[in-house]
Amino acid sequence: MSLIVYDLTLLVLFVIFSAVFLYLKRKNLSKDGPFYLYMTTWGLKLINYIGGKYKKTLKFLSYISVGWGYVLMMGILFLMVQTVYLYLTSPIARIIKAPPIAPLIPYFPKLFGLQSFFPPFYFVYFIVSILIVATVHELSHGIFARRFGIKIKSTGFAFLKYFPALFGAFVEQDEKQMTKTKKFDQMSILSAGVFANTLTAILFYIILFWFFTYTFAASGVAFDTYSYSPIGIANITSVNGVELTNPSYTNVLNLFNDTGFNKIKVGDRNYITTKEILLMQGEGLEEVFLYDDAPAINVDLGDIITEIGGIKIESIEQLGEEIGKYSPGEQIEITTIRGEGELKFMITLGENPLDPEKPWIGVGFYDEMRKGFVGAVLSVLPSYTKPHVYYEPKNDLSLFVKDLLWWIVIINILVALFNMMPLGFLDGGRFFYLTFLGITGKRKFSKKLFDVMTYFLLFLFVVLMVKWAAGFF
């Protein structure tokens, strides 16, 4: 039985369990819109204990929490603007048909064609991750609220009425006391949730680092694409053997075959691409990206290189060293993995475009994830993997646990970033408003500025989705 079957079975059992649990506890439930609220006493006891006993420690942490709140807010604003810019200008974004905004629900990578970007997101991952993220986030709000003398009315879990598998934690505080509290204290309470999520992400990243070290082994190099180059349309001299004297995007496209690779010549260099890829890059461009006419793409090499000439490959450096032992024109055997199968190829090495005396197979590697705000955050942490290295788990359980730990880390980071976005219904909205209220002392001005920021962010979301939808026409 596959993991998906086990996971769906768990989903059914969990829904049944949740429904039975809510039925048995129906006297302790209250309704709030589309949710059933189940109150817990242990949450109140924990909040009152920590919030009342460790006041000095929490006061010190409040300065760090507020400071980190500003870092996350600036980070998510920068990330949003950068994402929109890259999505509108990057030729790679034109090729990717997955939506720029996808709901975080079980199996979303499979549902939205994002399997190459994310590991599987099973139902059990969703349940465990949300339970940890929501509980840590809400309890931290409550603990800091209690520290600053705000009464906590109730704590518990909220279940969606018609599908109790969807749930979250909540902490209900006295809103009147909250609004009368000092601005800094309010901001401490608002940022406490994302601060706790960040600490949780770091903790589970350390666990992931340790677990991965002992349960996985380097077993190959995963390449992202075949080698490609930016080419000016005006420099193209022929397409599929037909000479061009006055090349234009339309002239080039008209000479393309509807299926398969098309051969493009630029001077003495050869390139290949498909009509679909050229159309995805956009019509009327003066420069397009074309695959280099290299050995790897001509044999459709595979996704992961595991051996060169019988020598096992464990890093990009070793891949380069092993290929470097040969000369252009020599034949070598390359073993690769695609999906769950192993493939072997005999290929003739080409000449490296930058140095014709060196051999070349023509595979490429993306490093986009190391750029921008996310890259800056990731570069601070020690990576549990080497770039582009493929790792084999020692057993299926190792892979399952590794992906679960990874999702717990990522979802905590995403929740921390998203919640500090200055939108009205998020922690970051009131945090943003209180910041400018403290600076200016003017409520109307601060509210107006907050409204402008909200509409600006909503506009960016709309731009992303419109651009994605336009790609289908």
In this prediction, residues 286-302 reach a mean pLDDT of 88
In this prediction, residues 426-444 reach a mean pLDDT of 91
Shared domain for 20 and 85, answered yes or no, is: yes
What is residue 405's predicted lDDT score, i.e. its pLDDT? 94
Shared domain for 320 and 252, answered yes or no, is: no
Report the distance separating Cα 241 and Cα 239, nearest Å. Answer: 5
More confident: 67 or 276: 67
379 in any annotated domain: no
Contacts of 136 (CB under 8 A, 6+ apart): 193, 196, 197, 200, 412
Contacts of 92 (CB under 8 A, 6+ apart): 368
What is residue 427's predicted lDDT score, i.e. its pLDDT? 92
User: Percent of the chain having pLDDT more than 90?
Assistant: 36
What is residue 159's predicted lDDT score, i.e. its pLDDT? 82
Residue 120: burial class (beta carbons within 10 Å; 0-12, 13-18, 19+): middle
Torsion angle of the four alpha carbons 123, 127, 132, 135, in this order, in degrees rounded to the nearest 10 = 150
What DSSP designation does 471 have? T
Average pLDDT, the chain: 85
Report the distance separating Cα 57 and Cα 62, nearest Å. Answer: 9
374 in any annotated domain: no
In this prediction, residues 351-368 reach a mean pLDDT of 82
**Which phi and psi angles does 455 have, rounded to 5°?**
-65, -35
**Which phi and psi angles does 431 have, rounded to 5°?**
-60, -45
Q: For residue 302, what is the domain's CATH number?
A: 2.30.42.10
In this prediction, residues 238-252 reach a mean pLDDT of 88
User: Does the pLDDT of residue 3 top 60, yes or no?
Assistant: yes
373 in any annotated domain: no
Report the distance separating Cα 421 and Cα 309, nearest Å. Answer: 52
Give me the domain span that covers residue 329. Answer: 298-364
- Among residues 127, 133, 138, the alpha carbon closest in space to that of 43 is found at 138
User: Which of the four pLDDT bands, split at 50, 70 and 90, describes residue 2?
Assistant: low
In this prediction, residues 417-435 reach a mean pLDDT of 90
Contacts of 168 (CB under 8 A, 6+ apart): 130, 134, 157, 158
377 in any annotated domain: no
27 in any annotated domain: yes
More confident: 361 or 338: 361
More confident: 4 or 301: 301
Shared domain for 415 and 451, answered yes or no, is: yes
What is residue 98's predicted lDDT score, i.e. its pLDDT? 64
User: Percent of the chain having pLDDT more than 70?
Assistant: 93
Q: For residue 285, which amino acid is it? A: L
User: Which of the four pLDDT bands, split at 50, 70 and 90, describes residue 372?
Assistant: very low
Residues 405-416: pLDDT tens digits? 999 999 999 999
Shared domain for 90 and 196, answered yes or no, is: yes
**CB contact at 8 A, 79 and 98:** no
In this prediction, residues 85-95 reach a mean pLDDT of 68
Of 293, 317, 342, the residue at which a domain comes to its end is: 293
Based on C-alpha coordinates, what's the Rg of the chain?
27
User: Does the pLDDT of residue 374 top 50, yes or no?
Assistant: no
339 in any annotated domain: yes
Report the distance separating Cα 305 and Cα 332, nearest Å. Answer: 13
Shared domain for 355 and 410, answered yes or no, is: no
User: Which of the four pLDDT bands, split at 50, 70 and 90, describes residue 291?
Assistant: very high
Shared domain for 249 and 278, answered yes or no, is: yes
**Which phi and psi angles does 36 have, rounded to 5°?**
-100, 130
**CB contact at 8 A, 150 and 181:** yes
User: Which of the four pLDDT bands, split at 50, 70 and 90, describes residue 173?
Assistant: confident
Report the distance separating Cα 154 and Cα 356, nearest Å. Answer: 72
**CB contact at 8 A, 215 and 398:** yes
- Terminal CA-CA length for the chain: 41
Residue 351: burial class (beta carbons within 10 Å; 0-12, 13-18, 19+): middle
Q: For residue 392, which amino acid is it? A: E
Contacts of 73 (CB under 8 A, 6+ apart): 420, 421, 422, 428, 431, 432
What is residue 17's predicted lDDT score, i.e. its pLDDT? 84
What is residue 59's predicted lDDT score, i.e. its pLDDT? 93
What is residue 435's predicted lDDT score, i.e. its pLDDT? 93
What is residue 39's predicted lDDT score, i.e. its pLDDT? 80
Of 293, 313, 328, the residue at which a domain comes to its end is: 293
172 in any annotated domain: yes
In this prediction, residues 57-86 reach a mean pLDDT of 91
Contacts of 248 (CB under 8 A, 6+ apart): 233
More confident: 64 or 31: 64
- Among residues 31, 229, 12, 263, the alpha carbon closest in space to that of 127 is found at 12
Shared domain for 22 and 60, answered yes or no, is: yes
Shared domain for 187 and 128, answered yes or no, is: yes
In this prediction, residues 320-331 reach a mean pLDDT of 91
- Among residues 292, 300, 294, the alpha carbon closest in space to that of 230 is found at 292
Shared domain for 66 and 182, answered yes or no, is: yes
Q: For residue 262, which amino acid is it? A: N
Of 364, 399, 417, the residue at which a domain comes to its end is: 364
User: Does the pLDDT of residue 369 top 60, yes or no?
Assistant: no
In this prediction, residues 88-116 reach a mean pLDDT of 70
Residues 108-165: pLDDT tens digits? 777 777 776 788 888 889 888 988 999 999 999 999 999 998 988 888 888 887 777 7
User: Does the pLDDT of residue 376 top 70, yes or no?
Assistant: no
Shared domain for 211 and 238, answered yes or no, is: no
Report the distance separating Cα 400 and Cα 403, nearest Å. Answer: 5
Q: For residue 466, which amino acid is it? A: V
369 in any annotated domain: no
Antiparallel, parallel or unpaired: β 341-348 and 331-338: antiparallel
Q: Quote the number of domains for the chain.
A: 3
**Which phi and psi angles does 64 have, rounded to 5°?**
-65, -40
More confident: 467 or 48: 48
Shared domain for 73 and 122, answered yes or no, is: yes
Q: For residue 107, which amino acid is it? A: Y
Antiparallel, parallel or unpaired: β 269-273 and 287-292: antiparallel
The reply to whether the predicted model has a pTM over 0.85 is no
- Among residues 403, 364, 387, the alpha carbon closest in space to that of 317 is found at 387
User: Does the pLDDT of residue 228 top 60, yes or no?
Assistant: yes
**CA 46 to each of CA 11, 117, 153, 471: distance values in angstroms, whole numbers, following the listed order:** 30, 39, 13, 51
Least confident of 14-28, 144-158, 178-192, 238-252: 14-28
Residue 60: burial class (beta carbons within 10 Å; 0-12, 13-18, 19+): exposed
Shared domain for 51 and 179, answered yes or no, is: yes
In this prediction, residues 164-191 reach a mean pLDDT of 86
In this prediction, residues 45-49 reach a mean pLDDT of 89
Give the pair of three-digit tokens for residue 293: 């006419």
In this prediction, residues 195-223 reach a mean pLDDT of 93
In this prediction, residues 232-250 reach a mean pLDDT of 89
Give the pair of three-digit tokens for residue 374: 């996310």
